[in-house]
């Protein structure tokens, strides 16, 4: 138990909550490569200034995205990963991690 607590203490509280929440819902965390690619697309779509960090925990709204920007991000992700995101799933995307997790789920379903 102490080992688990030591490992968890290295994460921010919001990251721990998100990880525990997604694990409880049976979602796998996306690979780093997917998260990095989503970060790149988000930076490009939102014209995020150099030096402004975009991480897995970054919320689109905190990066200045409005609903139209979010639609454009989803379209960019669909094009980059050759997937189709339904409207309900698109509305559930709030962070880079949310997007990366959904992408990996859709890619896995597509290849199954």
- Asked if 48 contacts 13 with a C-beta cutoff of 8 angstroms, the reply is no
Active-site residue, 92 included = no
SS3 of residue 59 by DSSP = strand
Kindly state the tokens that stand for 64: 């200045």
Element (H, E) at 33: helix 32-46
Helices (H) and strands (E) in the chain, counts: 6, 0
Catalytic residue among 36, 50, 66, 92: 66
Catalytic residues: 66
């Amino acid at each position: 138990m102490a080992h688990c607590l030591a490992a968890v203490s290295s994460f921010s509280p919001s990251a721990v909550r998100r990880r525990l929440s997604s694990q409880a819902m049976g979602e796998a965390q996306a690979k780093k490569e997917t998260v990095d690619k989503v970060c790149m697309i988000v930076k490009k779509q939102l014209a995020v200034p150099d030096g402004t960090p975009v991480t897995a925990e970054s919320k689109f709204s905190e990066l200045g995205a409005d609903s139209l920007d979010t639609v454009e991000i989803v379209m960019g992700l669909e094009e980059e990963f050759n997937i189709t995101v339904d409207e309900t799933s698109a509305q559930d995307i709030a962070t880079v991690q949310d997007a990366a997790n959904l992408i990996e789920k859709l890619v896995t379903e597509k290849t199954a």
